[in-house]
A and B are shown apart, each in its own frame.
Chain A
């Protein structure tokens, strides 16, 4: 019996030693960045990594893994990425890219023109295309390798516009050998069989390689054969934390290094907190309230201009959004190609009243709807607008519903639309004014066909945008876009509110964290200060 007792003690001792080691050893092994993890809390739960349908923050996460031909910076310039340089043909409808040499995919496959053409041609594949944005999928008509590192891309629209779109992560290079590996599925359509494509294990050329996607987050690890500068952190862990207040707490507790989108009402206190740094990246998502221009009263531009004069957008941006917004001076943001300053509409209730009197409108009642929790402080802004309108005798009390129902209530033909005004926000798919304007105001996009939910039907305006889609002369494009911006500003089919900023907060003691045009963070080269 004695031996039994000794054994039991031994077992307990061993268990204790193992336990102690398992708890403390990983903590003491952190000497350089390769063993360190950058923890990052974001607000979306990601369940689908297919690059061609990725949006917003998901695309931003994939940017760690996938690289595109061209990249952008804080100012929205188009810069070399996987392409070192490019030439645009005379007609503007084809681009020849000279690709970077010595680049490899994470699975060892060499990156070359063939691989890039494969990645772009994927958009033309019915199996993949079924899910992708139809506008984006028709931009490129053909991509082919001229030689090992020269790629010819034929486009449906002018090169300027296509280059701005090529920044999208969905156009990133993926390893041709990866589409049937690691759980990725690709079966081409054949006869009756529609085929299948599921690309959930991205293999690209980026500084990080994809490791795992789990219900609680996504992990990427450093790719040590990366062609460019190696990042500091060996591992980056994205945690999915939907609640903004919780993300903020994680950061304040020191359990993550960086968060996106804290509660805006806390921006001021975060800025005063020495433990964290706040980076308010300017966004180019325009927030507006669309008028039903098919309505009898609202078809008069004077009424719409009056409402634009009646609302103090400065005050809304400063007081309701705590400075995390820039009042609109045009329909598109300042950092996109073709931006032209056309505003603001001065806050002037007397002028508003005059315009209403001129139009012969009094005791106006407007049906007004706004979403809740979709855009920064959206319903609060709607309530403020309602109060401003009350001051000039317009009764417009906002109603709200869940986002699904809300969107449903916008995509209606004019005759079925009962709303007089509704709030919405739109971010262009690339830093080009034409992309910012086309989807929400071109007359081919009038709801329910598209997102022109103001029913703004202006043939001259639409012709100017068409010109910006096709003209290969950048200056002429800019001119057409400027004219169009002035036209829609004066017509005022919307109450132009503001451009929503994109707040990023990280712990003090880090550097190398920045942003890129179009609501994107850039923390790939984050590192402790001084390392």
Chain B
């Protein structure tokens, strides 16, 4: 287990450096001049040059990359070109918002998605199954942008149950964004649960359990459920990483001041260090969520052992 963890951690670091390299290159290879944007459209060439010098864009690409990776290894994620605050400070300031959103989304996804998936499997090929399948297809097909606005109109404008946007109404504020975000993942979780349950329900030991006279409810909840959860937990773990990036659009629609909104602003402003910082953050969450899932396997399924 120890060796396995070490191997996976090194692999994770390599992945993160790879992500950073790609982001670094992508930001610098697209046309456009951040120094001009920072200095202002009416700035003189000297001014633009001074800004270029300040933010280190006058160095060669290779030198910039060297400096960038060097600072990264020292735990320095740079300073925002715009706010001039350390990138990490801004991210940490917004972390509670994003985690709050992610946490509630995850709970909604699990609480709604798994039972729905089980129901769909149990009532396979009935109208219940059809309804759930079509519903989850809708959830996954609707862009969170449209879905978010739709939910705002229904729940905030017409019914007036919840705040439309912003973050100044406590927990109430996070319900709509979390629900919007969870609908995307809900679809995935429901379908995976349904598939896994159907798989398990056709196994011999289920038939045995039923044959020995166990009640159907008990067969499903104890015998089938636990075994069907392995692929579900995998996908949940993967989704957690996706949640971080999926939050980008949702946070923008709802004006939810998390890391996703920070990223949108940074991209529009060409705030290189900020974009790098946020992408790095998302990559770290993604990679470690995966790692965590792999480790969790062993707990759920005692047959899995890592050597």
A135 in the interface, Cβ–Cβ < 8 Å?
yes
27 A–B contact pairs at CB < 8 A?
A45-B257, A45-B265, A47-B85, A47-B90, A130-B50, A134-B43, A215-B261, A215-B262, A216-B257, A240-B257, A241-B165, A241-B166, A242-B265, A246-B149, A246-B164, A249-B156, A249-B165, A250-B163, A250-B165, A250-B166, A253-B160, A401-B31, A402-B267, A404-B30, A404-B270, A405-B32, A411-B33
B227 in the interface, Cβ–Cβ < 8 Å?
no
Within B243-282, which residues are at the interface with A (CB < 8 Å)? 252-255, 257-258, 261-262, 264-265, 267-270
B100 in the interface, Cβ–Cβ < 8 Å?
no
Selected from A48, A214, A439, A450, the residue in CB contact (under 8 A) with B84 is: A48
B42–A249 CB distance below 8 A: no
Within B69-107, which residues are at the interface with A (CB < 8 Å)? 80, 82-85, 90, 93-94, 97
0/1 string, B138-163, CB within 8 A of A gives 1? 00000000001100110011001001
Given contacts A404-B269, A408-B31, A439-B41, 12 further A-B contacts (CB under 8 A): A47-B265, A48-B82, A134-B42, A134-B46, A215-B97, A217-B168, A237-B168, A243-B255, A246-B152, A247-B165, A407-B37, A451-B42
Residues of B within 8 A of A448 (CB): 45
> How many whole Å from B159's CB to the nearest CB in chain A?
9
Selected from A47, A134, A246, the residue in CB contact (under 8 A) with B255 is: A246
A383 in the interface, Cβ–Cβ < 8 Å?
no
- Chain B interface category by residue count: 35 or more
Asked whether A246 and B165 contact (CB < 8 A) given A48-B83, A405-B31, the answer is: yes
The total of chain A residues at the interface (CB under 8 A) is 45
A239–B168 CB distance below 8 A: yes
0/1 string, B25-51, CB within 8 A of A gives 1? 000001111101100111111110010
Of chain A, the residue at the smallest CB distance from B97 is: A215
0/1 string, A15-46, CB within 8 A of B gives 1? 00000000000000000000000000100010
The docked-state distance in angstroms from the alpha carbon of A8 to that of B47 is 68
Residues of B within 8 A of A9 (CB): none
A252 in the interface, Cβ–Cβ < 8 Å?
yes
> How many whole Å from A399's CB to the nearest CB in chain B?
13
The A/B interface has a contact count, at CB < 8 Å, of 142
- B residues within 8 Å of A by Cβ? 30-34, 36-37, 40-47, 50, 54, 80, 82-85, 90, 93-94, 97, 148-149, 152-153, 156-157, 160, 163-168, 252-255, 257-258, 261-262, 264-265, 267-270
- A residues within 8 Å of B by Cβ? 41, 45, 47-48, 130, 133-135, 198, 214-217, 237, 239-243, 245-247, 249-250, 252-255, 401-409, 411, 429, 439, 445, 448-451
The docked-state distance in angstroms from the alpha carbon of A198 to that of B79 is 13
The docked-state distance in angstroms from the alpha carbon of A41 to that of B167 is 12
The docked-state distance in angstroms from the alpha carbon of A255 to that of B159 is 13
Selected from B166, B264, B267, the residue in CB contact (under 8 A) with A216 is: B166
With a 10 A CB-CB cut-off, give which of B41, B254, B269 has the most chain A CB atoms: B41
The docked-state distance in angstroms from the alpha carbon of A239 to that of B256 is 10
A243–B45 CB distance below 8 A: no
Of chain A, the residue at the smallest CB distance from B153 is: A249
Of chain A, the residue at the smallest CB distance from B41 is: A451
Q: Which 4 A-B pairs have the closest CB atoms?
A: A408-B32, A215-B257, A241-B255, A47-B83
Residues of A within 8 A of B254 (CB): 243, 246
The docked-state distance in angstroms from the alpha carbon of A489 to that of B83 is 40
Residues of B within 8 A of A449 (CB): 44-45
Residues of A within 8 A of B32 (CB): 402, 404-409
With a 10 A CB-CB cut-off, give which of B164, B257, B267, B269 has the most chain A CB atoms: B164
Selected from A215, A407, A439, the residue in CB contact (under 8 A) with B93 is: A215
A239–B166 CB distance below 8 A: yes
The docked-state distance in angstroms from the alpha carbon of A242 to that of B257 is 10
Residues of A within 8 A of B148 (CB): 246
Of chain B, the residue at the smallest CB distance from A50 is: B84
Residues of A within 8 A of B163 (CB): 250, 253, 255
A134–B44 CB distance below 8 A: yes
Residues of B within 8 A of A429 (CB): 42
Asked whether A135 and B42 contact (CB < 8 A) given A47-B83, A253-B156, A408-B33, the answer is: yes
Asked whether A198 and B252 contact (CB < 8 A) given A216-B168, A253-B157, A407-B37, the answer is: no
The docked-state distance in angstroms from the alpha carbon of A406 to that of B165 is 31
Of chain A, the residue at the smallest CB distance from B255 is: A241
Residues of B within 8 A of A239 (CB): 165-166, 168, 255
B157–A47 CB distance below 8 A: no
Of chain A, the residue at the smallest CB distance from B267 is: A402
The docked-state distance in angstroms from the alpha carbon of A497 to that of B33 is 27
Residues of B within 8 A of A403 (CB): 268
Residues of A within 8 A of B80 (CB): 47
B153–A404 CB distance below 8 A: no
Of chain B, the residue at the smallest CB distance from A405 is: B32
Selected from A45, A198, A243, A450, the residue in CB contact (under 8 A) with B253 is: A243
Of chain B, the residue at the smallest CB distance from A411 is: B36
A404–B268 CB distance below 8 A: yes
